[in-house]
Structure 1
Amino acid sequence: MKRSKGRYWLTGALACALGWPVLGSAADDITVGVFVSSTGALAPLGVDMERGYRIAVKEHPNIKGTPIRLVVEDDQGNAATGLMKAQKLVIQDRAKVLVGGTSSAVVLGLAAQAARLNVPIVSTNSQAVQTTGAQCSRFIFRTNPNDAMVANGTRILLQKRPELAQKKWFVVYHDFVWGRSNKEQFEKIPGVKVVGEAGRSMGTADWSSTISEIQNSGADAIYLALAVGDDMPAFLRQARSYGLKQFMLPPLGMPDSMLEALGTDTPPLVTGGLFASWTTQDKDPKMASFVKAYTAAYHTVPGPQAIQAYAGMQLVLTAMEAAPSLSPDDLIASIEKSSVDTVIGKLAIRKADHQGTVGTYMAESAPLKDAPGGAKVGWHVIQQLPWDMVKVPLNETGCKGL
């Protein structure tokens, strides 16, 4: 009881300090707080994620007969802003759970304050290993693959295509939490030969100096650890204009909306770490149903982040429905033991570190005909790599226990 009183005193004090009235949601609804990047370089991902969440809630609009209220906040891809928005969602809106995480930096910032926020936080896009690794927390869950799992997908790709394993790689990466994490995991793959690297800030528009470094390095392959915002298309366009012929591997692929924007400027791309592809609808009725709902609502096909968001929110809503109460402890326990059959297969949580038991997809960009939403280019799945093929053993995650 003392702990509970202390918590409510703290939240009330924070609300007053921030100028927020402690109103909470209406008594006849349940608030789920969403934090995504609606503006800034990562906005294309955040928009896709929000759309996926909304469709999941539209399909599951009530918890035990009580309507769900979805409150969305723009974290701008900034850790400090993300924390402020999370506090607002918990204190003012009385969110029972937070879902989102376009940026790993934002999720890691929330992880540091998770005990004070005192609600489950579920990320469907944070890829930095430490999210469920060195900075694991009983409050933090991840339902998407992490960078080490993506690297395992890339390793399998290189094994299946030995001509790629023999190449000399130049690594282009965004010099922030996710880019450094992804680059490090790629460089750990046995046999990979890296002959150069260039780290650049988010928002880089002119890649000419990086392209010059690539040309002088002797590399015949480029690994693109770029957050799939505006920078990735800018790099690819300039690479084409400079005549770069090197094989290019974006570890996560890129959103389908960006493939569409590039159009004929899109070079042949292959990835082992794609989060998901709507093109699996031909063999998966669940995916076909989701694609139909998504294209009807937004007049375009869903990207990988939208698909992961939809599946992650389904798990959250299933866990909320099954929980004996909406207290933090009951919700955490329910998320830990819930599972749901989704468009990306069966999704559950590994209790020891709260990593989602998902896989990746080996895929290549390909032209399309008669596709939903008028899509002209998409990710053709070569092989689905399930959890058992890409998972990281618990003793290698860096998580010391929850």
Structure 2
Amino acid sequence: MSKSLFTKLSHLGTAPCDEQHPRAPVALPAIRTSTVRFNTIHDLYDTYKRQSSGERIVGYGRMGMDTHAAFEEIMCELEGGQRAFLAPSGLNAIAMVLLSFLSAGDHMLVADCVYGPVRQMDKTVLQRMNIESTFCSMRNADEIEAQIKPNTKVLYIESPGSLLFEMLDLPSIAAIAKKHNILLVTDNTWGSGIAYRPLELGADISVVAVTKYIGGHSDLLMGAVVAKDEKVIKTLDINQYALGFSTSADDVWLAIRGVRTIDVRMKRHAENALKVCEFFDQQPETLQIFHPAYEKDSHHALWKRDALGSNGMMSVALNFTPEQTKVFVETLELFSIGYSWGGYESLVDMVDVSFLKNHAYWNASYPSLVRLHIGLESVEDLIADLSQALDKARHHKV
């Protein structure tokens, strides 16, 4: 019987209940161990032989046992991949990929809308290793082609982008990467396999911060790397083990718990966010709304073509001074000030517009930008909170 993704997510990673296990818990236990025991020397040698051939078999606790394997299978289902590799955070997952596929003398082409710490990784790690990175707009093929060099090995993007949620034409970018034999890596934290599936659109690797929507409760840190090509998987397998990445069994258990409800949570986040977009569209201070699922967003057509859904992330450019924007943010009662997102709670971040100076999609004439994560609270309450905070900011003496 054919099963939908959401049915699979409700049943994968559960404890077995069958003739050999006539009584069983619903949830697979969090199996913690540092040491793996072997019955014989033959079993030990056989394990490492099979491991060296690329098989997902545990010889040491760092790679995780049943709990980890179950969640890796879930990530493959979410992203449409053949193998998943876990890391202690989303940024660790990014580092795993870049350190696996870039060497001294190589060049990486990066979309200018990516997660900010990627730029920091370039400055502090990659440049020191003599790896060159070029950050540029990837809104048309000519811009991308012009930046490709003979030593370009990785094309790294995030779609939608991190602060302005700019949708990129991933199939077109994938065609360019394939033409030049370049590895295409996509940060898919926004979509998390539910709202967007980059591997199906042509990406070679999908990186996801499990911390966000998959965890869903703001109580874990984790990253995942998913791929489907055997050669890519082999390289990731070797390097993940060599770099020593390890994740807590308890965090993996929490991620499995979170994924059970990701479908219903994401739909509620998305519904609430669209209503907040409609609210801001009626406010005189609103200069632009950044949310690709909103019909007035300039990337809505791309979202409609390539995405499967949406979430609670949005940004709003406001015609407020920095001081007024600060009043707006600090007056909010239901929105906590915080950088992260993807949990049940609503968050707000006053973005330093200087961070956007190298972002081609940003209009430099806008005085302020606020990023919002619309949570699972009553949207009527959230809008009332936003309304009172806007009113206080309007009347703040400049």
Q: TM-score, normalization: structure 1?
A: 0.31
Structure richer in strand, relative to its length: 1
Q: Could you tell me the TM-score, scaled by structure 2's length?
A: 0.32
